[in-house]
Amino acid sequence: MPSPAAIGGGALGAGAISVGTAYAAGAFNKKDEVVTYANFGDYVNKRALTYIGDLEDETPNSIKKLLEEDKNANSSNGYRKKLQDKWDGMDAQGLQGENKDSITKPNEVKEKLIPSDSLNDLDNIAKFTKAWCKFKKSKTSGTDKKWTEDTIKKDADWKIFEEVCLIEKASQK
Q: Please give the average per-residue pLDDT across 14-29, as a whole number.
A: 51
| pLDDT for 172 | 44
Contact present, 98 and 135 (Cβ < 8 Å): no
Question: What letter would DSSP give residue 111?
Answer: G
**pLDDT (tens digit per residue) in 104-160:** 888 777 777 765 556 677 888 899 999 999 999 999 887 668 899 999 999 999 999
- Using alpha carbons, select from 17, 11, 18 the residue that is nearest to residue 3: 11
Percent of the chain at pLDDT exceeding 70 = 71
pTM attached to this predicted model:
0.74
| β partners of residue 167 | 50
pLDDT reading at 89 higher than 70: yes
C-alpha radius of gyration, the chain, whole number: 26
